[in-house]
Structure 1
Amino acid sequence: MADEHGTPATGPQLGLDELLDQLITHAQDVRNVQTKLNGLLAANTAIMGHLELPVVLRQIVRAACELVDAQYGALGVIGPDGGGLEQFVYQGIDDETAARIGSLPSGHGLLGALIDDPRPIRLSRIADDPRSAGFPADHPPMGSFLGVPIKVRDSVFGNLYLTGRRHGAFTDSDEQLISAVAGTAAVAIENARLYDEAGKRQRWLQASAEVTQQLLAYSGEDPLRVIARSVQELADADLVTVVLPAATPGELMVEVATGLASDKLTGMSYPIERSVAGAVIDSGAPILIDNIDRQNAFTLHMLEAVPVSAVMALPLAGSSRPRGSLLVARLNGRRSFTPNDLQMATTFANHAAVALELADARADQQRVVLLEDRDRIARDLHDHVIQRLFAAGLTVQSLQARQDDPAAAAKLGQVVTDLDVTIRQIRTSIFDLRGALSTSATSVRADLLGVAAEQAGQLGFEPALRFTGPVDTLVDEALADDLAAVLREALSNVARHARASKADVTLDVSFSTVCLEVSDDGVGFGATTRRSGLANLTERAARRGGSMTVTSTPHEGTQLRWQIALK
């Protein structure tokens, strides 16, 4: 601008131009701040719009990259021991590049520095910082760096890493914006955790109700296996075992195992001393172990089969003391169980233990009803059926004595014999009804009936047993063991070689002799039949001053007779 003589303007007019320039600059700054605030608001909205933790973590990284125009971003979740990264969620690197790079960072170099000292780190060039550990092969080049911790309540959940800002290095305002995003991320992560915990509790409670219903059902899968399988699924475990006290004092046994190496672990026995399961059974309190290799207080049987690390040991409560222990484990390298996991699993185990107690009580009640019913049937057979058969036998025997016709007398005598055999068979059935479920010491009758039931699967049919004489009075425990061994070997031979359709067993005991006979309708002994088992039976008889004979007719059957004299 010039005056009327064409001289340029100076003074106040020049000051006005400067003010206009400053005003424009401030307006641009305000606009930039407004843009960043809008971006921060959008980032917060995107982060808070989800409740699933994996989705929330990915959204945090994506929103942070967009907010400061970073090419690459990542969120590292710090492990429970605080010594490294448990998860690493990244943005900006495609799957092919990630596969070429190899394993994800574990928390060294700059990443580790932020873990050790959770304060923001801002660098113009990563390579210029002495804490930088460099990049692996095939890793894309990265220049500027910004790292900010994410604190959930009073603990550091993880760190947010950004690099490769497209327009120069990260600024102070970028650091402030990302710090604000980290604050929002902490709230979102806490909400996602609470949501996840609520969902887990709901699933545990639902499974508890389903398992209780199944355990109280009248039939179905083994209750302990149902419990173990449910815990493995709910706890995201690799291996679950149910450990109970073994028959041998001072030992435990794996009753049920599900998951990895379950076949190898099922049936395993080991000392109770210093074991995790033993400690839980003795104290009745659960135990949580982050890493079994980093402690010396307990031993763990699972390590013989599977390299597990994190372990939960839960008591299975009984009426007076824990009836066993439920061990839940994850493989080495997986995340540890949390106290919330332990609490939910313990509640489930307590509910399952109550269901087991109720199921056992119901089974005992059914057993009592069955015993009473069998006792009634046995009593009716003894008091009515046998007495009537005995009376009928006396009547037929009286008619036989008056019969003049020899043929008719012989037929009546055969009827008396058949009635006598029938009475003996009914008495054996009566003992089977009463003795098989008796809680008293076993007798020779129970032993032989048990052997017959044991061999029935191999034979393909039930052997017929008959007892005569004072069997349980004159046969002591040692002789009962010999008789059981003889019957087992005899029926085993029938199953392996005879191709029989029936087998009859008779034990005849008098005050002078004991005779066990086993006969079948099979093909008889062949030329290649092994005789080592029969030699053992002969030796058993010889030790007692008795004998063992075998009579065999081809295609008509075999009869084994084992007899000793009572002293």
Structure 2
Amino acid sequence: MFPTVARLELDDLLTQLVERAQDVLATQSRLRGLLQANRIIATDLRLPVLLRHIVEAATDLLGARYGALGVVAPDRTLEEFVHVGMSDADVARIRYLPTGQGILGLLIDDQRPRRVDDIAEDPSAYGFPPGHPPMRTFLGVPIMVRAEVFGNLYLTDKHDGAPFTAEDEELALALAANAGVAIENARLYHESQQRHLWMTASAEITRLFMAGDPDALQRLAQRVLEIADATFVALALRAEEPAGDQARVAIAVTAPPTGRRPAQDGLDQSGEEAVSRAGRRIPLEHTLTGRVLTERQALRVDNAQLDALPDERTEHTGPLMVVPLVAGIDQCDGALLVGRDHGSPAFTDTDLTLATSFAGHIAIALELAHAKADQERLLVLADRGRIARDLHDHVIQRLFAVALGMQDLAQYENPSNSDRITSYIEDIDATIKDIRRTIFELRSAHPTRAARLRTALEEISEDIRPALGFAPTITLSGPLDSVVDDRLADHLLAVAREALTNTARHARAGTAELRLAVDGDAVTLDAVDDGVGIGDSTRRSGLDNLRTRAEIVGGSYTISTPPGGGTHLHWSAPL
């Protein structure tokens, strides 16, 4: 039998041994929990998903009812707050997430772990907003990334009601250290993905520019909108002289604040606003665009409403970055403006670097496209010169010789044949004049508007020729190139097509003539044929269209039957 004292000592030793064993088991369980938590936070490299995994793993590991991770912004506030444990109803009642006040703010200013047994008793407590669930115990530890504070991990209210211990703090610090590594890996992964997207877009847009795609600028803006997670993108190009102190908005697209993809045509409910921006002028003095073009250095601002002109942003734009299109050492031809709405994350240094590299590639692509266009234009001009010489040296001379021979032959023919030969000579003379006018147009580096009108009218004539059964005569006279603008030219061409179409459908004519001329302070278009006349048809939709076009430009329209029969359409517009 053991003495009573010895038995008591043995019981104490056995109790201590059991307690030590339980502590070892608990510690082993926590270590396993820590390893499991580390595995969980390493399963996904998408940063938003990773942050939630970190909070969930921390609450499970330490048995906390609530957990959160606050991402610290450059201004020492919380720019992002990821939380678990609260219901959707709780979040709806609170309405506003923390920004870094009270105990949370202390941890931002002093990056040391902090344990509080009763939040309400802490002198730095800021108080809970209405609707916030009650919380008592608190543990906060910093998350470091590359020796800088990325954010803080917050835990409250253990399930057993006990305060957080020093051991809990050590586990939280260990988890935060691994979380910092995981966050850094996620950042690097995100940067590599973004770099790949920017490079792919650069190659795509370069191909479009080199191919001369007319939608290249639109596609450029849409791709930047998608990659930069932006809601506003504009491309401003330096204006030509004499407006060299301005930049012209070449393209602008917007996206809805709640969406991240533009509509099919690059526009949303603000599409009309985006379209109206194209062509606007941005002064280079005292503007972000002017500063970037002058200094050839990219910049970013957190609140565009304070720093940018209305044409450099939208009414919702908050973060904005402006990057230069630098194609050479001393050459900067434009700037790319990329904005996000208020409340969106600010652009980072990485965003600015990637966008700047992209803009540099685009600037070079634009220069190459312009050089290619210039080269093709020179080849066309060389071809035009050769054709002009051949027409002048060979075709005109032969026609002139034929006309002289026919003129000489007409002297020895009877009067009836002489009249016919004279008519042929007049036709040849008119043809020579047309060829000479063509030669002049070919030798001109920039065809006049009159030349373009003649070309367009001839194309209309060729389109309708099969229906007519012959080619209508086209005559142009007066300074059309200096007085007819593009808008009026569109109306004139539409009227000409309508007139010839009506002749082909209803007139049964043998001849038709289009005469376009400048008459005083008006431009007139006359369409004359020798057909059956207007008739009494009640269908007047085409004629009503001609009348409407005349009214739009403040002009007049008449249609009549000449004494010799046929139809004479007269359409005029003031200059």
**Mapped contact 1:211–1:227 kept (Cα < 8 A):** yes
Q: Residue type matched to 1:311 in 2?
A: L
Equivalent residue number for residue 547 of structure 1: none
Equivalent residue number for residue 93 of structure 1: 86
**2:504 counterpart of 1:500:** no
User: Deviation at 1:27?
Assistant: 2.2
Equivalent residue number for residue 238 of structure 2: 245
**2:153 counterpart of 1:160:** yes
SS of the residue 2:499 aligns to? coil
Q: 2:289 & 2:456 partners in 1: Cα distance?
A: 34
**Mapped contact 2:514–2:528 kept (Cα < 8 A):** no
Equivalent residue number for residue 194 of structure 1: 188
1:195-239 Cα offsets, whole Å, 9 max, x none, are: 11111112222222222222222x424333332222222211111
Equivalent residue number for residue 326 of structure 2: 317
Equivalent residue number for residue 451 of structure 2: 449
Equivalent residue number for residue 205 of structure 1: 199
Q: 1:316 to 1:99 in 2, by over 3 A?
A: same
Mean CA deviation greater in 117-126 or 378-387: 117-126
* 1:32 aligns with one of 26, 38, 43: 26
Alignment of 1:133-532 (within 5 A): 133-167=126-160, 168-217=162-211, 219-247=212-240, 248-260=243-255, 261=270, 262-293=274-305, 299=309, 301-303=311-313, 305-318=314-327, 321-404=331-414, 406-435=415-444, 437-438=445-446, 446-450=448-452, 466=475, 480=479, 484=483, 499-501=498-500, 504-505=514-515, 519-521=526-528
Q: 1:560 & 1:41 partners in 2: Cα distance?
A: 87
1:233-289 Cα offsets, whole Å, 9 max, x none, are: 221111111101234342221111122442232222132111111112122222232
User: Deviation at 1:189?
Assistant: 0.7
Q: 1:226 & 1:161 partners in 2: Cα distance?
A: 44
Q: 1:412 to 1:220 in 2, by over 3 A?
A: same
1:79-136 Cα offsets, whole Å, 9 max, x none, are: 23322x2222121223344334434333333323322333222222222334333334
Equivalent residue number for residue 568 of structure 2: 557
Q: 2:293 & 2:186 partners in 1: Cα distance?
A: 36
**Mapped contact 1:126–1:145 kept (Cα < 8 A):** yes
Q: 1:494 & 1:37 partners in 2: Cα distance?
A: 84
SS of the residue 2:15 aligns to? helix
Q: Residue type matched to 1:380 in 2?
A: D
**Mapped contact 1:401–1:409 kept (Cα < 8 A):** yes
Q: 1:530 to 1:205 in 2, by over 3 A?
A: closer
Q: 1:302 to 1:128 in 2, by over 3 A?
A: same
**Mapped contact 2:300–2:322 kept (Cα < 8 A):** yes
User: Deviation at 1:424?
Assistant: 1.4
RMSD: 3.9
Q: Residue type matched to 2:281 in 1?
A: S
* 2:115 aligns with one of 111, 122, 126: 122
Mean CA deviation greater in 67-76 or 450-459: 450-459
**Mapped contact 1:503–1:518 kept (Cα < 8 A):** no
Q: 1:408 to 1:506 in 2, by over 3 A?
A: farther
Q: Residue type matched to 2:92 in 1?
A: A
Q: Residue type matched to 1:255 in 2?
A: A
Rg larger in 1 or in 2? Answer: 1
User: Deviation at 1:517?
Assistant: 8.0
Q: 1:289 & 1:302 partners in 2: Cα distance?
A: 12
Q: 1:336 to 1:145 in 2, by over 3 A?
A: same
**Mapped contact 2:457–2:493 kept (Cα < 8 A):** no
SS of the residue 1:273 aligns to? coil
**Mapped contact 1:160–1:182 kept (Cα < 8 A):** yes
Q: TM-score, normalised by structure 1?
A: 0.80
Equivalent residue number for residue 504 of structure 2: none
Q: 1:461 to 1:324 in 2, by over 3 A?
A: farther
Q: 2:83 & 2:15 partners in 1: Cα distance?
A: 43
Q: 1:315 & 1:517 partners in 2: Cα distance?
A: 49
Q: 1:312 to 1:533 in 2, by over 3 A?
A: closer
**Mapped contact 2:327–2:360 kept (Cα < 8 A):** no
Q: 1:387 to 1:533 in 2, by over 3 A?
A: farther
Q: 1:489 & 1:290 partners in 2: Cα distance?
A: 46
Q: 1:271 to 1:399 in 2, by over 3 A?
A: same
Q: 1:506 to 1:308 in 2, by over 3 A?
A: closer
Q: 1:505 to 1:27 in 2, by over 3 A?
A: same
User: Deviation at 1:166?
Assistant: 0.7
Q: 1:207 to 1:10 in 2, by over 3 A?
A: same
Q: 1:362 to 1:32 in 2, by over 3 A?
A: same
Mean CA deviation greater in 318-327 or 410-419: 318-327
User: Deviation at 1:328?
Assistant: 1.2
Q: 2:391 & 2:120 partners in 1: Cα distance?
A: 97
User: Deviation at 1:188?
Assistant: 0.9
Q: 2:129 & 2:89 partners in 1: Cα distance?
A: 15
**Mapped contact 1:505–1:516 kept (Cα < 8 A):** no
Q: 1:529 & 1:19 partners in 2: Cα distance?
A: 109
Mean CA deviation greater in 360-369 or 21-30: 21-30
Q: 1:492 & 1:63 partners in 2: Cα distance?
A: 71
Q: 1:171 to 1:184 in 2, by over 3 A?
A: same
Q: 1:396 to 1:551 in 2, by over 3 A?
A: farther
Q: 1:433 to 1:69 in 2, by over 3 A?
A: same
SS of the residue 2:332 aligns to? coil
**Mapped contact 1:311–1:327 kept (Cα < 8 A):** yes
Tell me the percent identity: 41
Equivalent residue number for residue 58 of structure 1: 52
